[in-house]
Chain A
Amino acid sequence: MSVVFAGVCSHAPGITGRADRADPAVRDAFYAKLDEMRQRLEASRPDALIVVAAEHFANFFMNNMPAYCMGMAESYEGPIEDEKWLGIERTRVPGNAGLSRRIIEAMLHDIDLAYAEEWKFDHGIMVPLHFLTPRYDLPVIPVNINCQGPPLTPLARAYEFGRALRRACDAQPERIAIVGTGGISHWPATPNSGVINEEWDREFLRRFLANDREALISYTDAETFRDAGQGGFEIRTFIAIAGATEGKTGELLFYAPIPIFAVGCTVATMAV
């Protein structure tokens, strides 16, 4: 079959962990749009969900840091964080090792992708799953793009990764959904936590929704760090989704800065 759904959403741990401290009106509007994304995802009748995430030193560390890695396990466990801290109970999430393997084999023609047969999900994947597959009944295939420990993969390569992912998925018989999850501008877990550059976010989203490759890959990391914080490096996940939906445009379901969640909360879908 091919890719039947594509979208992006935020994953900050505060979204679930500090839920009771946000303005209820904005929080509930955000949750409602995440639920709309869930409904659209379900309506696409996917056999598997690939989550292109930016993890935060849960499985990968500077002793052996892949630029790109895909999970290849029958199941995964998460969250790795304290359950109370994150507000999500620990659970086992089904995978699909065979499909992972076929996608990895196909992608290796284009991208030097690492794989992992063991992977514990952190908030970067668990927060999206909490809203998008709340019964944890859809097989998930995790992808990590290193957005934490520089040197980082260039943005043009992140777009290329998305293209390669699309080619690999289109060659499989399964119906596949792809969700990217990351920033946009934020300074998580630093004294600047809660600062959000809404203007920068809206311009980035404009480029993303238009799938304007040249504009998307034109940011330097120095500019991103200055204007969007180290959390802004996670735009790589969005750019990968743009690469996977090249030639198509997106629809913004929600954007609002929610400082106690430490990020401009975003929900968007891309045409496939």
Chain B
Amino acid sequence: MRGNGEVVVSLYYVQKLLYQLNRDPAVRRRFQEDRDDLLSEYQLTDEERDAIVEGNIGLLYVMGVNGQILMHYSALLGQKWEEYLEAMREGVRKYGPVRAGLYTLLEDREQTWRPDLHGNR
């Protein structure tokens, strides 16, 4: 397993693209209008590229993308908060445990909070 201490180069570029997408309107524009050209600047595996293009939040989470980056991509795709949380859980069910980054060490915590009791926007 690729754990916390190991540098994972490909994950770095996935996160870098999403980071720049989050903070730079010009990068967002290129992502809409000239996606292939933009993506060619990042070292991505086919799986990573597909996950980004398809907006597969669950798989991106399993790949190890930090939530502080991922939640903004989710919002950009128009997902609501609960949809974002559910997409990550669905990702783990479908693709298995987180593969790289900080969250490989994350344990399931008992939810003391019931989103369904607090409305759903």
A209-B38 Cα distance, complex, nearest whole Å: 49
B68 in contact with A189 (CB, 8 Å): yes
Binds B, one of A53-61, A91-99, A172-180: A53-61
B109 in contact with A57 (CB, 8 Å): no
Provide a sorted-by-A list of 9 A–B residue pairs whose CB atoms are within 8 angstroms.
A21-B118, A59-B23, A61-B15, A63-B16, A81-B72, A150-B102, A188-B68, A191-B89, A195-B111
A153-B119 Cα distance, complex, nearest whole Å: 39
A150 in contact with B4 (CB, 8 Å): yes
B112 in contact with A187 (CB, 8 Å): no
Q: Secondary structure at chain B's binding surface: helix, strand, loop or mixed?
A: helix
B19 in contact with A61 (CB, 8 Å): yes
Contact partners of A189 in chain B: CB under 8 A:
66-68, 70-71
Min CB distance A228 to B, Å, is 11
Within 8 A of B (CB), among A17-58: 18, 20-21, 56-58
A120 in contact with B81 (CB, 8 Å): no
A230 in contact with B102 (CB, 8 Å): yes
Residues of A with Cβ closer than 8 Å to B?
Answer: 18, 20-21, 56-59, 61-63, 80-82, 85, 120, 148-150, 187-196, 225-226, 230, 259-260
Contact partners of B121 in chain A: CB under 8 A:
20-21
With A62-B12, A82-B75, A148-B68 known as contacts, the answer to whether A57 contacts B22 (CB < 8 A) is yes
Tell which of B103, B110, B115, B119 touches A195, judged by Cβ atoms closer than 8 Å. Answer: B110
Contact with A along B60-81 (1 / 0, CB 8 A): 0100001111111001100001
Closest 9 CB pairs of A and B: A189-B67, A259-B113, A56-B68, A194-B113, A195-B109, A189-B71, A192-B109, A191-B88, A190-B67
Contact partners of B53 in chain A: CB under 8 A:
none
Q: Chain B interface: which size bin? A: 35 or more
Min CB distance B6 to A, Å, is 12
A85-B115 Cα distance, complex, nearest whole Å: 18
Tell which of B70, B71, B109 touches A187, judged by Cβ atoms closer than 8 Å. Answer: B109
Contact partners of A191 in chain B: CB under 8 A:
61, 85, 88-89, 92, 108
* Closest B residue to A82 using CB positions: B75
A20-B23 Cα distance, complex, nearest whole Å: 26
Contact partners of B4 in chain A: CB under 8 A:
150
B112 in contact with A196 (CB, 8 Å): yes
Within 8 A of A (CB), among B7-29: 12, 15-16, 19, 22-23
